[in-house]
Amino acid sequence: MRRLLLPLVLLVPLLNGGTASAAAAETLLSQGKPATASSVEDATFPASLAFDGDTTTTRWASLEGSDPQWLQVDLGASRQLSRVKLTWEAAYGKTYRIQLSADGSTWTDAYSTSTGDGGVDEAAVTGTARYVRMYGTQRGTSYGYSLYEMQVYGEGGTGPAPGYQAENATLSQAFVDTKHAGYTGTGFVDYVNTTGGYIEWSVTAAAAGPHRLDFRYANNSATGNRPVAVTVNGANAASLTFPPTGAWTTWTTQAATVTLNAGANTVRATATGTDGGPNIDRLDVTPDTGGGGTSFVVAAAGDIAQQCTASSSSCIHPKTAALVQAMNPEFVITMGDNQYDDALISDFRNYYDKSWGAFKSKTRPSPGNHETYDPAGSLAGYKAYFGSIAYPNGKPYYSYDHGNWHFVALDSNDFGSTQLNWLKADLAANTKKCVAAYWHHPLYSSGEHGNQPVARATFQALYDARADLVLGGHDHHYERFGPQNANGGSDTQGIVSIIGGTGGASPYAIENVQPNSLKRLTDTYGVVKLNLGPDSFQTQLIGLDGSVKDSGPTYACH
């Protein structure tokens, strides 16, 4: 049934303090924009399919039999909104809300109903927001929620994050293409597979100072990361890696903070790898009010998916996945033992994928010892499931940047000289202020497995490079250490360590408390929430009930 739905209130307070303009032309704002969801039924029904322009064939579908669920779109800029159109599949929402947000964290209801009956709903909304979501609290069927399309309409004028389409830029050894869905303009730019190709934009800044550049991209390359050098007005400004997104139709963003002049500026993104750069949709430019960097949230856990599903009330990994969904992190890191018991590809698909698989495209994993038990070969199922996400450079260890942070994912099953030499070279080339690393076997632990001396040389290399944070798993408990050096001594210039083996595997006991251990929790499941600023960080453990079980102090980056 097609219905026009009146707003919950006639005027929602404008989230950016602006004024509504009823005379402006209405534009479809949401098609091809980045989308996230509380869950997916499986990998064939991602959130992006509800914003691809197809209202009859492709769709997003949530997990079955569970409330609440949500579907969210990032419009890329704050927009004045007029209506939201929902085209439901048979699995519709009976009770749901349309919510608006300026930052993706604080939400305002713009419409609600408890009498949804499927078909096509058109909800009139009034307000200004960058983020829009459908928040369902009661399903209309025994299944989940499923939308062929969610279309957000409003004014299409300029906002605080204007999009500079790549297809309108100056290109060298790159070309405009349209063969992959999800782009936001008339096409996207595909680099030629060689070093030196570039996309060059002319961008305008209202005032001189730091600005955030968000490059919207897709990368399904079998060779992994596509590195790009960014110059501003001819000067080197940033070196970015563009990790795989899981599909050429899965779009996400990679950011850099640079200094722009007032008025016109030239921004160039040059491929520095022999395989060229990623597919680029557009560049968004926003003033950076954080003084040279931005803050973001990362979710982290290890020891995750036992061989069970949400149909069992004692199954934990779907519950920790729900915590990740609630955090809505920039990305997810795993500290090994992603899938029990032997990490078969069939088990990854039947268990891990049904919960934490909802975040696969933005997960940056590391392997544990259980990934080595696969009868098909050590790490075989792990590699088959994660693909180039876990092997961006053909190795199970890799690094990447986000904001003012440099992240290093390591394979602690083989802390030999090859990986150690790579790590030292990687750290020597780092230009970011803050450094975090993660792997499975922690150097120090108060749990049943105890200390893992094999990690000492790796920890020392990170200490020498003035790294800030190390995360691990292996022992199935939570533990937070104060800053320490590789010998276990308290050291103000040392590394803060977290053990987050709380993702779903059965808990272990605390057996031998280590000297710098500040907090220990067992018989507690949860997800580590990393609150990462441009020059500082703070960590929390979020329990299954959504409450904060531990909160560390704020540390300045070295």
Task: Determine which of 108-112, 217-221, 365-369, 451-455 has the lowest per-residue pLDDT on average.
Answer: 217-221
Question: E strand or H helix at 469, and its extent?
Answer: strand 469-472
pLDDT for the residue numbered 210? 77
The tokens for 25 are 């032309």
Cα–Cα distance, 208 to 287 (Å, whole number): 9
CATH number for the 296-394+412-418+439-525+545-556 domain, one of 3.40.50.2030, 3.40.605.10, 3.60.21.10, 3.30.565.10? 3.60.21.10
The yes-or-no answer to whether 27-154 and 164-287 have a common fold is yes
The tokens for 540 are 């929390």
Per-residue pLDDT averaged across 425-429, rounded? 94
The dihedral over CA atoms of 62, 64, 66, 67, expressed in degrees to the nearest 10, equals 40
HSE of 433, CA atoms in CB hemisphere, 13 A: 16
Instruction: Give pLDDT tens digits for 124-159.
Output: 888 888 899 999 999 999 889 999 999 998 876 433
User: Domain-by-domain residue ranges, the chain?
Assistant: 27-154, 164-287, 296-394+412-418+439-525+545-556
The tokens for 550 are 């531990």
**For the chain, what percent of residues have pLDDT higher than 70?**
93
**pLDDT exceeds 60 at position 78:** yes
Contact 110, 96 (CB under 8 A): no
Per-residue pLDDT averaged across 212-241, rounded? 85
**For the chain, what percent of residues have pLDDT higher than 90?**
57
Complete DSSP assignment for 508-553 = --B-S--TTEEEEE-S--EEEEEEE-SSEEEEEEEETTS-EEEEPP
Instruction: Give pLDDT tens digits for 337-374.
Output: 999 999 999 999 999 999 999 889 889 999 999 999 99
User: φ and ψ at 145, to 5 degrees?
Assistant: -115, 140
**pLDDT exceeds 50 at position 290:** no
Band (pLDDT 50/70/90 cuts) for residue 42 is confident
**pLDDT exceeds 70 at position 185:** yes
pLDDT for the residue numbered 518? 95
Instruction: Give pLDDT tens digits for 87-104.
Output: 998 889 999 999 999 888
Per-residue pLDDT averaged across 45-59, rounded? 86
The pLDDT mean for the chain works out to 88
The CA-based angle 506-508-511, given to 5 degrees, is: 175
Instruction: Give pLDDT tens digits for 315-333.
Output: 999 999 999 988 888 899 9
Model pTM?
Answer: 0.54
Domain boundaries 164-287, corresponding CATH code: 2.60.120.260
Residue whose token pair is 């204007």: 162
Fold of 27-154: Jelly Rolls (2.60.120)
Q: At what angle do helices 456-464 and 417-429 cross, to 10 degrees?
A: 10
